[in-house]
Every structure is written in structure tokens, then in C-alpha cells.
Amino acid sequence: MRTETPPTIYRKDYAAPTYFVDTVEMGFDLEPELTRVATRITMQRNPAAAGKDIELYGEELDLVQLRLNGKTLTARDYRVQGGILRIPGAPAKVTLDIETTTNPQRNTSLMGLYVSNGNFFTQCEAEGFRKITYFPDRPDVMGKYTVMLRADKKKYPVLLSNGNLIEEGNLPDGRHYAKWEDPFKKPSYLFALVAGKLVCQEEKYKLQSGREVLLQVWVEDGNLDKTQHAMDSLKNSIRWDEERFGLELDLDRFMIVAVGDFNMGAMENKGLNIFNTKFVLANPRIATDVDYANIEAVVGHEYFHNWTGNRVTCRDWFQLSLKEGLTVFRDQEFSADMIGSDSGRAVKRIDDVRVLRQAQFPEDAGPMAHPVRPDSFVEINNFYTVTVYEKGAEVVRMYQTLLGRDGFRKGMDLYFKRHDGQAVTCDDFRAAMADANKRDLKQFERWYSQSGTPRVAASVRYDAKAKTLELTLEQSCPSTPGQKKKLPFHIPVAVGLLDSKGKDMALSLSGEKTAKSPQTTRVLELTQAKQTFKFTDVAEKPVPSILRGFSAPVVLEYEYSDAELAFLMAHDSDAFNRWEAGQRLATRRLLNLTIAVQAARQSGHVVSVESVLGNLQQDDALTNALRTTLNDTSLDPAFRELVLTLPSETMIAEQMEVIDPQAIHAARQFLRRTLAKDLSADLLAAYEANQNKGAYSPDATASGKRALKNVVLSYLAELDDEQAHTLAQQQCDNANNMTDRLAALAALTNSRAEGKGKALEAFYTEFEQEALVIDKWFTLQATARTADVETVRALAQHPAFTLKNPNRARSLIFSFCNGNPSAFHALDGSGYTFWAEQVIALNGSNPQVAARLARSMDRWRKYSTTLQEKMRAALRQVADTPNLSRDVAEVITKSLS
């Protein structure tokens, strides 16, 4: 019984602000239960908005006083409605004095000003500033901020805000103050303050221009042994942005602060980035190779926002991908450049595409599908999505693919030249790319306006006499909510042709003069619904390698034979497509096996799935191809690990008309066991060959070897024999780093090894004080093969578990609901009941995190009618909960509609 449906906000309704802000002076008296905030805003009317009210947003605030040009306003002078305070009839030049109070201690939403482990933090993006004071809290209103912080000196010795520290000192009664000034105009969502007991690692760093800046990484006491990697990543980021994009740090001081309670990954507040501890703290004892890589990426991401986001910001929140898609693209390129080698870049590319397919493709096919630049939203926090971020990054990458690296750089330069200091739109970015390169990118706009994942169907016709190859590409895009019919996209399709020896052929297109040094990869531009490209001088019938490097975020449909896929796996010069061929082959096998499992189940015989599958013909093409790759030491170990990793259960599910989680799980497990048996000698050899002796280093070479060794261990563990148990136990006991330790513990947990209970316990005891490691401990058990909803319920009773901490909630609840499909979708619906309980519980304390969990049900219409009924009932149960937040209500409503 919701009281009222929250309103939908539309992009088409955008109206410029009625007043622009010049300066903002804030004074904070920080107390956990009652913080006083005095704000003085100077503003000027927008000449285009004569006669309009002043509009200030505010949420959950107590307004103590409001003065306009020195005169106290009474309730008759303004109206408050739907979170907006309107002051009519104000003059053109205004000074507002606003005094508000809030209760940070009780703020469990982690938006606005809140307390985490006794310290104060803020999170203002997207609309959290309005929980601190009444303000024109929208990104196209920018002001120059001066911030005075006052607090008890013993409890809160460190007082930080954006920009430069200009004054500090003591106050009576054991209090002290610090005054900060940010020299740059900024939107309110980039405001930040931090106060508390924190310590920092700091370093002076010289920019290429010779200017010296102060870099700091702030953490809780006891964590200074975990900040070096973040600091190194920050320095690398600064250097990289200078070199690749000519962008310099514009501040004298740059701070990163780690906080244990945080809704998302991190936040790019001007000069004062606030990070989830997960993306700062690392040492070999507590962090895995993946953690190290993520920290580098997120530190880079937030730092790069300083130009793409802060110096040039978004006009409105519909333009979110303007900064997020672009900044994800930049952090992806940064990580790739940090690895350096070609094979390392390919590995990074494959990783990024895996995320896109695993999470964004399903989003684009579900009830929450939206364009990269959405047309409407109920709650903006629900639109910090893989579509806006990861698909947005693919859209930016396509500019670079179409324009070349230099052309892309020209576009970036023009973008900053035109828009530095402004709040702009995705169209402005596209215009800069087009104008700098004198290209027409009008049709490219559809990547921003149309949702859904395009399909590109390819077919070839080889003419042996004329020595030509016709490649026909036909595009389509499924309908999505609110968008039935789609128009053709502008799609860059990178293509190569392999001769019978597996070598790249020189490519020339019909109508072209033959180039002196013809390319072996051509970027074709597919702009119509159907187009044919004719290659000339094609000496023999080739095997096409299409969509090299995943040149566009589409699904490529091409009827490869098994033999062709094995051939591409062995020979394609494009590492992405080499990997892709293996994934296609494995997907084909997994789908067939899944059908076999279903058939076995239906036959009614009480036979084990194993015995039915065991009679299936053995699959030599895949086994042999994987064996060849595994043993090919000329290939990067990190790449071999990716090839050996079978498509996830979620990936298989997306390929099915009706998802059958248990059949998929059985099929994939069967294939893994079969491969483990058939390749056992090769696996053992690879395990030995990729042992890393010596001190731990998270570099790409060492981590690649560990990744390969550990995927090999996971295969061997499928045999569940004594040899595998011993290997896992030994690795668990002897590991000198978290990557190896966790991989071994996972292998044990998923086996019948005797020592597994003891190993889990010992792990807990050893890391009890390390919250981020305890998160891993929960995740490991929630995603274990033996786990069911009862396991997870029991773990939720563990004293270390709390829903209040987002990382902890994610480690157990999200990991189970999203990462253990066959258990979550238990036929009795118990997983759904559990899900509903958790969403409802979180809804009360943290709507943003609750709405994320609500998304686990996105694909409910893809399951059997029996499961659908149970899922609908769970969705209804949430929908009927009193006091449902806007966040959760939007997700559930869209799911049910």
C-alpha cells in the first residue's frame, strides 16, 4: 500500500535554472546527532527566467532560519512542496542565509552527511547535497565554495574539504576549526567534507610542468600498511593523463579518503575523492590480484573525472554518461597502457567485454532497459547502471575506432577548448568529435537515444573465379520498454580474413585503388539496415574474423562451423576473436548439454544426470582446442586463463528461451569435470609450470601466471580426488598472498575434502580484523556449490554479518542472489522469499542498496511458469510493502509492468 506514485522526471522537460550561484560559504558545527550548517549563497537571476521563483531543493532537513538579503523570511514568504522550497518575487541579486540541522548519526542511507565508524563523511552525487542544506542542487548550477569546519579536536582531529586549506586553529572547549577554499567553480554534487580520526600517507609529486603537488591517501589508524598501491596508482594516473590527453592536475593538493561504509565504488569530489575501502586498501596479505587491478582502475577513474566530469560537467543527470562513459573509457585505456604489452591489452579488453556481456546485455534486454542517455527516471540513483557506464564507454570507444586515436584526441582537445568550466550534454561531446574531424556523426546519435543490444547478422559469398568475397551485414535491434521500433545504428565492424594457413590476408575493397601496404584489419562502417562489402583479390576462400577487438557493443551472428572456430582459436591474429571463437564453441556445447540434462530429467527415469551425460559423445573439437591453448607457452598465461574459463551460467542463461538454472549448472559442471579428466595430465603440468616462486608482485606477468595456475587448480578440484585435495590444502597452507590463498580455499570449499571446514575457520580467525577479507569469506560461502538458501540464512546470523554495511550486504546477500543461480532459483521459491525479506529490510535503512538488490529479479519473465509465479509473488510482496522508497518502487514497478 504505497501512498502515492513518485513522479517521473523527463529529459524533454529540462529548463535552465532560474538563478545562478556565484559563491557559497558554509559553516559546519559537526556533532554526530545534531550538526548545524550555516550556508550563505550569493546568486543572480538568470536573465532568461525573469519573474521566476528561486528554487531550492531540500530533504530531511530542519530549517532553522532563512534570510534573503538580510531579511528573515517567514513561512508566508516561501512555499515548500515535494522537496522544493520556492521563493517568489526575489530581486535579481540575492544573498541567502540558510541555517539547517541534520542528524548524521541516524543517516543510514549514506547519502548527504553521515557517520561511519565514528567519522564524518559526505556523498553528494547525485542529489545528496540537498540533505545538507537547501540549495539549487542541480549540476548546471556552479559556485565557488569556502567551507569552515568546526568540531571537537580529540574526536575529530582531521578536518578536510575541497580545495586548499587556508586557515586552521583552536577554539574554546576543546574544539578546533579548519577553513577550506576551492578555487574552482563546481556543482554541489562535487562538494565533500571529511572529519575524524584518520592518518595519511603523503607525498610531494612533480608534474611534467615542474609544479609540485601534495598527494595524500587518508585511512583509519592501522591501515597505513595498505596505502602504497593506491598512492602509486594515483601517481600513474596523473602521469598518464598528461601524456595521453595533455591534461594536468589543476590543484596543489589532491586527497583520497577511504571509508568502510559506502554505497558505490568511489566519488570524484573536487580535490577530495572519497573511496570505498575496497578500492584503496591493499597489501599481499589481504588483497587479491583482482583487487590490485580494481584499485588501479578506480583510482584512475576518479582522478580522470577531474577533467571529464569536474572541469566539464553534466548539464543534467540524463547526461550522466557524458562523464561516466567517457571516464570508464579513459580508465580502461589507462589500465591497458599500464600493462603495456599487446597481449596484456587484449586480456584487459576481454575482461571489459565480459563485464559488458554478463551484466549490460541482460540489462538491455530486461525491464530496466534504457538508452545510454535515458529519457526519463523516477530516481536518478537507479541510473548509475552498466548501460550508462560500460555501454557508455563502448560508445566512446567507437568514436576512437571510427576516428582513429589521433582523431579522437583532436575531438577531446576541442571538447575542452569549447566547454571548460561548463555543464554540457552528450550532443556537445559528439559535436566536438564530429567538428574536430570534419565528420558527419549525426546517425551516431542513435547510440545515445536507442536502448537494446543491436544484432549484426553476417554472411559471406566467395567467388572463386572473380577472387572476390562479399560480406553482407544486416543489423536489427530488439524492442525495449518504450521503444518498439529502432532505426539503424552507425556500427564500426572491424574485419580480417584468414587464409588456409591461418595468416591474415591483405584487404582491399572493391572500388579502391590498391594500397601500397594494404591493411589486414578493416573497419567497415555499417550504417544501413543491410549492406554488402566486397573484398577484391581474395586468392582463396578465407575464414572471416568479424568484429575484431569487439569493435561495437553488438551481438554478432555468423554460422561458424566447429572446425572454423577451432581454426580461429589456433590462428586469429586478433586476440579478442581468438578468445571469442573458444567462447562460441563452448557456448554451443553447453547449450547442447543443457538440453540433454533437461531431456534426461523429463524421461522420468531415475537416472543420474551424470550417467546420461556420460554416454554423450565426447567432444574432441573443444577438448583439443583447449588442450592446445593450455599447452601453448607462447601465449600469455593471462590469456590462456581466459580461454580456459567457460562462459558463466548467467551467460548461458541469456542464450536460452526459457532459463533452466539447475540444468545449466549441471551441464557446466559436467563439462568442467569432463575437461578435468581429459586434460588432467596437461593441467597438472601447467599447475607446476606456473608456480610463482619468490616475493609477491601484482604485476600483469605474475598475476597472469597465478590466474592460470588457479583456474587449473579449480579444474583439478573438479576431480575431487585425494591428489586435488592435497594440492589445494598445500596451496592454502603455503600461500604468501591472498590470491593463492583464496583460490585454494575456494577449491577446498567446493570439494569433499576433509579439511575444508577447518580451513574456513582458520581463515576467519586469521582475518577477523580485516573487514574486506571477511567479505571474501562470506562471498566464498554464498557462492559455494553446496550453498543453499539455508546456508545463507545461517551466515546472516553470524555475529560478523550486518545489512547496514553495504560491502557486507553485497558479500553475502548479493553474491548469493546474483552469483549462485542454481541455488537462488531453487524450485520451491525459497530463494525468492529470502530475497524479498532482504529487499524489504534494506528498503528501510538504505534505499539505494535495496534498489540494487531489487534488480536481481530483472529477468524473471525468462523462467519457467512455475518459477515465474513464485517470483511474481515475491515481487508483489515487496511492491505491497508500506513506505517503499522511490528507489525500490521504481525498480519493482518496472519489473512487474
Interface pattern 822-851 for ligand ARG (x via CB under 6 A):
--------------------------x---
C-beta closer to Zn ion: residue 321 or 731:
321
Cα separation of 565 and 629, whole Å? 13
Other C-beta atoms lying within 10 Å of the C-beta of residue 340 = 10
If the CB atoms of residues 324 and 718 are measured against Zn ion, the closer one turns out to be 324
Using rule CB under 6 A, residue 384 touches ligand ARG: yes
Q: Is residue 363 within the footprint of ligand ARG (CB under 6 A)?
A: no
Task: Tell me the number of residues near Zn ion by CB under 5 A.
Answer: 2
Q: Select 131 or 825, whichever has its Cβ closest to ligand ARG.
A: 131
Site for Zn ion in 294-353 (CB under 5 A): 324, 327
Closest distance between ligand ARG and the C-beta of residue 474, in Å?
36
Q: Does 324 bind ligand ARG (CB under 6 A)?
A: yes
Residue 126 within binding range of ligand ARG, rule CB under 6 A: yes
Q: How many chain residues touch ligand ARG (CB under 6 A)?
A: 14
Supply the minimum distance, in Å, between the C-beta of residue 115 and Zn ion. Answer: 25
Sign of CA dihedral 500, 505, 508, 513: negative
Q: Does 261 bind ligand ARG (CB under 6 A)?
A: no
Reduced to 3 states, what is the DSSP secondary structure of residue 787? coil
User: Nearer Cβ to ligand ARG, position 381 or 807?
Assistant: 381
What minimum distance in Å lies between the beta carbon of 129 and ligand ARG? 12
CB of 195 to ligand ARG, least distance (A): 20
Q: Of these partners, ligand ARG, Zn ion, none, which one is at the site of residue 838 (CB under 5 to 8 Å by kind)?
A: none
Residue 580: contacted member of ligand ARG, Zn ion, none (CB under 5 to 8 Å, by partner type): none
**Residue 78 touches ligand ARG, criterion: CB under 6 A:** no
Name the residue nearer to ligand ARG (CB basis): 269 or 820: 269
264 binds, among ligand ARG, Zn ion, none (CB under 5 to 8 A by kind): ligand ARG
605 Cβ neighbours under 8 A, 6+ residues apart: none
Residue 581 and residue 502: Cα distance in Å, rounded?
14
Euclidean distance between CA atoms 641 and 709, whole angstroms = 8
Closer to Zn ion by Cβ: residue 327 or 783: 327
Distances (CA, A) of 136 to 131, 188, 658, 689: 12, 8, 48, 61
Output the smallest distance, CB 267 to Zn ion, in A.
8
- Residue that the C-alpha cell 577554499 belongs to: 181
Instruction: Pick the closest to residue 428 from 527, 314, 303 (CA basis).
Output: 314
Q: What is the largest CA-CA distance in the chain?
A: 95
Reduced to 3 states (helix: H, G, I; strand: E, B; else coil), residue 652 is helix
Give, in order, the Cα–Cα distances in Å from 463 to each of 507, 532, 831.
Answer: 15, 14, 56
Position 329 contacts ligand ARG (CB under 6 A): no
Residues 377-406 that bind Zn ion (CB under 5 A): none
The C-alpha atoms of residue 651 and residue 633 are separated, in whole angstroms, by: 28
Closest CA to 579 of 636, 533, 541, 540: 636
- In the three-class reduction of DSSP (H, G, I as helix; E, B as strand; rest coil), residue 282 is classed as coil
To the nearest whole angstrom, how small is the minimum distance from the Cβ of residue 863 to ligand ARG?
29
Residue range at the interface with ligand ARG (CB under 6 A); choices 22-30, 261-269, 558-566, 779-787: 261-269
Stretch that binds ligand ARG, among 120-128, 371-379, 504-512, 865-873 (CB under 6 A): 120-128
Out of 220, 268, 649, 718, point to the residue binding ligand ARG (CB under 6 A). 268
Q: Which of 526, 528, 530, 525 shows the shortest CA–CA distance to 474?
A: 530
The SS3 assignment for 472 reads: strand
CB 214 within 8 A of CB 252: yes
* Of 261 and 324, CB closest to Zn ion: 324
Q: Which stretch binds ligand ARG (CB under 6 A): 123-131, 210-218, 277-285, 355-363?
A: 123-131
Interface residue with ligand ARG, options 241, 302, 394, 678 (CB under 6 A): 302
Q: How far is the CB of 412 from ligand ARG (least distance, A)?
A: 19
Cell numbers found for residue 260: 568502510
**Single-letter amino acid code for the residue at 66:** L
Tell me which of Zn ion, ligand ARG, none is bound by residue 31, counting a contact when its beta carbon lies within the kind-specific cut-off of 5 to 8 angstroms.
Answer: none
Contact region for ligand ARG (CB under 6 A) — 91-99, 266-274, 390-398, 804-812? 266-274
Residue with cell string 558463466: 648
First to last CA, the chain: 17
User: Min. distance of Cβ 125 from ligand ARG in angstroms?
Assistant: 4
The verdict on 381 binding ligand ARG (CB under 6 A) reads yes
How far is 450 from 441, CA to CA, in rounded Å?
A: 15
Give the nearer residue to Zn ion in terms of CB position, either 249 or 728: 249
Catalytic residue among 125, 220, 302, 379: 302
Helices marked H in 500-619: 562-571, 575-602, 609-614
What residue type is assigned to position 411 of the chain?
G
C-alpha distances in angstroms, 51 versus 18, 88, 134, 664? 9, 8, 21, 63
Q: Give the ranges where 263-341 is alpha helix by DSSP (H).
A: 289-305, 320-339
**Residue 263 interacts with, from Zn ion, ligand ARG, none (CB under 5-8 Å by kind):** ligand ARG
Residue 597 lies near ligand ARG (rule: CB under 6 A): no
- Rounded Cα distance between 223 and 339, Å, is 27
Q: Is 129 in the site for ligand ARG (CB under 6 A)?
A: no
Residue 125 contacts ligand ARG per CB under 6 A = yes
- Please say which residue, 313 or 750, places its beta carbon nearer to ligand ARG: 313
Binding partner selected for residue 266 from Zn ion, ligand ARG, none, CB under the kind-specific 5 to 8 Å limit: ligand ARG
Residue 696 binds ligand ARG, judged by CB under 6 A:
no
Verify binding: residue 267, ligand ARG, rule CB under 6 A. Answer: yes
Find which of Zn ion, ligand ARG, none residue 267 binds, CB within 5 to 8 Å per kind. ligand ARG
Q: How far is the CB of 331 from Zn ion (least distance, A)?
A: 8
Dihedral, CA of residue 279, residue 280, residue 284 and residue 286, to nearest 10 = -70
Does the footprint of ligand ARG cover residue 266 (CB under 6 A)? yes
Residues in the chain, overall count: 897
> Catalytic: 390?
no
Q: Which is nearer to Zn ion, 327 or 818 (CB)?
A: 327
Rounded to a whole number of angstroms, the CA Rg of the chain reads 28
| 237, interface contact from ligand ARG, Zn ion, none, CB < 5-8 Å by kind | none
- Among residues 314 and 552, whose Cβ is nearest to ligand ARG? 314
Please say whether the beta carbons of 674 and 618 come within 8 A. Answer: yes
Minimum CB distance to ligand ARG smaller for 380 or for 871: 380
Pick from 216, 146, 158, 213: nearest CA to 182: 146
548 binds, among ligand ARG, Zn ion, none (CB under 5 to 8 A by kind): none
Contact region with ligand ARG (CB under 6 A), list: 52-60, 258-266, 455-463, 640-648: 258-266
Burial class (CB in 10 A: 0-12, 13-18, 19+), 235: middle
Tell me which stretch binds ligand ARG (CB under 6 A): 18-26, 264-272, 471-479, 614-622. 264-272
Please tell me whether residue 146 adopts helix, strand or coil conformation.
strand
How far from 640 is each of 310, 338, 633, 634, 644, CA to CA, in Å? 39, 20, 9, 10, 6
List CB contacts of 827: < 8 A, sequence separation 6 or more.
662, 866, 867
With respect to ligand ARG, which residue has the nearer C-beta, 310 or 674? Answer: 310
Query: Is residue 564 packed enough to be buried (19+ CB in 10 Å), middle (13-18) or exposed (0-12)?
Result: middle
DSSP 483: B
Nearest to 347 by CA among 143, 511, 576, 135: 576
284 three-class SS: coil
Which positions touch ligand ARG (CB under 6 A)?
Answer: 123, 125-126, 263-264, 266-268, 301-302, 324, 381, 384, 848
Which chain residues interact with Zn ion by CB under 5 A?
324, 327
Positions annotated as catalytic residues are 302
